[in-house]
Chains A and B, each alone.
Chain A
Amino acid sequence: MRRTSTKVVAAAALLVALVLAGVVSRFADHDPDGLTKVSQEHGFAHKATTHRGLLGGYGSLTGVVGVVVVLGLAGGLAFAVRRRRPDDERP
């Protein structure tokens, strides 16, 4: 059996993330999440304060931008801290 290349796996994973953020997110439930709902029912929701996010809120476009930013930051961080191959193992 031929092994699926890492590039193909990576491309598929990225495509899934982009489709989830850009398309499927349109169908996300807009009800308050677990903590927000509990805070409303237990009388501490009014304590929440908000700030302005640099991209505003979540949407198809900003979601895709978010995916790319997260990919770049986490991927870059991983590359920075990874083990380098010893020189004698370099092709």
Chain B
Amino acid sequence: MHVPDGFLDAPTSVATGVVAAAAVGVALRGARRELDDRTAPLAGLVSAFVFAAQMLNFPVASGTSGHLLGGALAAVLVGPYTGLLCMATVFIVQCLLFADGGITALGTNIDLMGLVTVVVGWTVFKALQAVLPKRLSMVAPSAAVAALVSVPVAASAFVLLYAVGGTVDIPLGSLTTAMVGVHVLIGIGESVITFLAVASIVAVRPDLVHGARPVLEKRELVLHHEVAA
């Protein structure tokens, strides 16, 4: 979903750039609470994994491909603030080293594929965690659902931006249908990759998964309670 230069007009691109800069600023402050000596190395690895996985376009419909966005994955693994920093790093490197995504569109891409997928992914994940049983086995499926939802929402956010500052006048109804339709399919791939990645880490070291901490803390509370009783 990398937006190239030229799809959105200059004022819209400036506005998305300001939003992206502000979001990264907030994330820099918030990430301090998520990162310590033990979890800091994971942030680099999550970012590297998202970068690598974004190179792997998979077919979704005739003549159309898609790839992982990764915001929900990053948020669940390292927390939403750190997750956004990981995603922003990926888009900056893709833009400067690979010309993947436009330069004036860098803010747009950080907003759509980073901010939106992290916020939506984390919100859906936390909502599921609130209603589902507090078990480790629920972490990866919840992350997968969060990932599935995050992709069409990001596509809808693009349509919103296009409605504000698109450079060619086109019917927004059919643009919405097309964008959401194809990105629901891409979201399925996103949820499969997210499930596999989160399930792998939860299987070996659940304590390293940010989104699994409430479950582990509850388990320890139960253990202490049983010992006390």
Contacts and interface: CB of A to CB of B under 8 A. Distances in A.
Interface of A: 3-4, 6, 9-10, 13-14, 16-18, 20-21, 24-25, 27-35, 37-39, 41-44, 47-58, 62-63, 65-79, 81-85
A37 to B, nearest CB: 4
Interface bracket on B = 35 or more
Interface in B157-178: 158, 166-168, 170, 174-175, 178
Contact of A54 (B46, B53, B96, B204): B96
B19 interface: no
Interface of B: 1-7, 28, 31-33, 35-49, 51-53, 55-60, 63-67, 82, 85-86, 89-90, 92-100, 102-103, 155, 158, 166-168, 170, 174-175, 178-179, 182-183, 185-186, 201, 204-205, 208
A54 B85 contact: no
B168 A47 contact: yes
B59 A54 contact: no
A82 B168 contact: no
Nearest to B63: A31
B44 A82 contact: no
Given A74-B89, A78-B35, A66 B5 contact: no
A83 to B, nearest CB: 5
Given A67-B48, A75-B44, A47 B7 contact: yes
B208 A47 contact: no
A84 to B, nearest CB: 8
A30 B44 contact: no
A30 B6 CA distance: 22
Contact of A82 (B32, B89, B205): B32
Given A70-B48, A79-B40, 18 more contacts: A10-B45, A13-B49, A21-B55, A28-B65, A29-B57, A32-B63, A35-B179, A49-B6, A49-B102, A56-B98, A57-B98, A66-B98, A71-B44, A73-B93, A74-B48, A75-B41, A75-B43, A82-B36
